[in-house]
Structure 1
């Protein structure tokens, strides 16, 4: 059982159980979504240790966009261009001296796309860290930016930073307390931390993909109250907050700036009254959406048509473990991520999309974010003439 990362309390209440079928594993992966009975923080319990997650992110190439050397995914463009504009406005309002001289660290930077935007606008003292070695290689190759291969817990640098960016990072970390405390130690006193996480206050406000937020990797579900509680523990004062709908993802992000104040470490926290209510609503609407998908799957099972599933991400992992999709007449899976190709999921091979060129199998697109791009690839690049099914 995982203790609460905010108040270190052990007593918790289970409100949902999430299941996944995992690439290369016969046994399903299961975790519980729980609420802390002391502070109200909602998080995933019964999960692997921080060391297991660190090993996963070192070996995983998902965030390096290996297959996007020619074109960065639209979802990445939209979010990072927004992060830059928000940060630029904040820095302009808070620094009298030249902003371009500020020392900036992007922790968990992927292939460095956000850093490349800062570089394009004249910022010079930039550094990124990411646990995946391929991110360092791509960042230098594509953008000429300096990315070092570090976990947050391993990072070392002699000089401190004016701004540290944690965009889409904290929702992935099992040991929140130690990791946030450690990375904040590299901030100058009165320096700023930018945090962007999925917005638990608006889970389900836009319901495109059911249980999107309960993914294999998202294990912390922040409202602004719970995020404030976490930051207050380490002397971080909130200076700006806004929620933003990301059109490509079909979800909201919580975006905030925090100022380091060493005199305020260990502030009292406030019970998060809204966390459980918001999560329960999200579960209710996700179940309604998933019921519609189950009807599509039932039709496929009844027809016995030969099926290829494009996509082996969290959506597919959830559907295989929580619906009857496994009973469809599946021939194989495809995914454009080369790291997955050649592996198996529920005993079926994961192949390159090139294998669809001469097939007449029905293709089920198991992605919401990338469904339009996948359809274009099928029809325009692969010349596929068969039946295509979307889950939308």
Structure 2
């Protein structure tokens, strides 16, 4: 996999997806270090703006997703349980737990802005990474990592470290994308492969991870969660507990994950051929303005034929991206970056989810340029 990134990004521009011959786990063989990924989530967090990021709890999709998690946890833990959310972003899950009656809640996140936002909501929060957990934190009856493990370069070390925050009998809730069910989804090609998602779990590999950290798996199951555009996103979760016998267990062989991901990659390769139709709709040399500098655009800009066109503008609503350089242009807010472009410019909406709503936002700007929605191809 290869990506066009901003010059200041600490993440690798390419990696190879590999599978462990012993246990079958699939992951990105990246040259990035723990420090590189730590800097990325500290300085370039995608989860600071509640209006552009998932997990803030402000969208209907987030509210449905968190209601499901809270319902599960409320059946297993009392309202006075001490709960820590690791990588909590803007605190949407913690707010949902508080609304359900839980009161002893704490969040940690590497982003100072996320921490400030949570404190503004009246939640206990600390700026921390998994390599620098405050010594006075804990103990907790439940530690949650919801859509965090797929981002971690060393997930076993992370769980082993977090286990120290649990008393005997304490639990960890783990949730990640379900890589065994990537196929057949109405997302853009290679949607599940980006610079941040470097681990690919299913039920077997997620349970193996917990056992490798010396935890005992109490339950594991698959589910679908709602995302923008009315789509459903495959996920898997497990709850594991700390016991007196906290020795690492031998992993169970995962015989299906590699094949499932091979099928997904073949599906993506076939669907990527449809981008040739987009090439035919844009005359050679036509100026392009990109709406979006996220993972879809990062993959899209690596397509060979794109280099036949001149990128004249890049816009994005994410304040963290504004001012950064991408595809040779400085990223600007949409209402500023699309002014006074060549009359034959084509605006490419490179948003992976709900491109139609972004197109409507573009139309409200009243600009004269033709636009195309990349996810429609």
Deviates more, 1:22-31 or 1:170-179: 22-31
Change beyond 3 A, Cα 1:262–1:290: farther
Determine whether 1:19 maps to 2:19. Answer: no
Tell me whether 1:154 sits opposite 2:154 in the alignment: no
CA offsets 1:233-279 (integer angstroms, 9 cap, x no match): 22322223232223426431112222222314222211110121011
Task: Go from structure 1 to structure 2 and tell me whether the alpha carbon gap of 1:223 and 1:72 turns closer, same or farther (over 3 Å shift).
Answer: closer
Q: Which runs of 5+ in 2 are unaligned?
A: none
CA-atom RMSD, angstroms?
2.5
The answer to whether the 8 A contact 1:81-1:117 is kept is no
Gaps of at least 5 residues in structure 1 are: 1-17
In the alignment, the residues of structure 2 paired with residue 165 and residue 113 of structure 1 have an alpha-carbon distance, to the nearest angstrom, of 13
SS in 2 for 1:229: helix
Give distance in 1, aligned partners of 2:93 and 2:188: 26
User: What corresponds to 2:281 in structure 1?
Assistant: 299
Q: Which residue of 2 aligns with 1:329?
A: 310
Question: How far is 1:87 from its partner?
Answer: 3.4
1:154 is paired with a residue of what secondary structure? coil
Residue 366 (str. 1) matches residue 344 (str. 2): no
**Contact preservation (8 Å) 1:335, 1:353:** yes
**Does residue 199 of structure 1 match 2:183?**
no
Larger % of strand: which? 1
Mapped contact 2:172–2:239 kept (Cα < 8 A) = yes
Q: 1:390 is matched with which residue?
A: 373
Please give the TM-score of this superposition, normalised by the length of structure 1. Answer: 0.86
Q: Following the alignment from structure 1 to structure 2, what is the Cα–Cα distance between the partners of residues 340 and 247? A: 25
Change (3 A) 1:91 1:237: farther
Give runs of aligned pairs for residues 120-199 of structure 1, distance below 5 A: 120-141=99-120, 143-156=121-134, 157-199=136-178
The alignment status of 1:118 with 2:97, answered yes or no, reads: yes
Q: Is the 8 A contact 1:365 1:390 kept in 2?
A: yes
Partner of 1:135, secondary structure, is helix
Q: Structure 2 length as normaliser, TM-score?
A: 0.89
> What SS is found at the alignment partner of 2:141?
strand
SS at 1:215 equivalent: coil
The change in CA–CA distance for 1:258 and 1:297 in structure 2 (over 3 A counts) is: farther
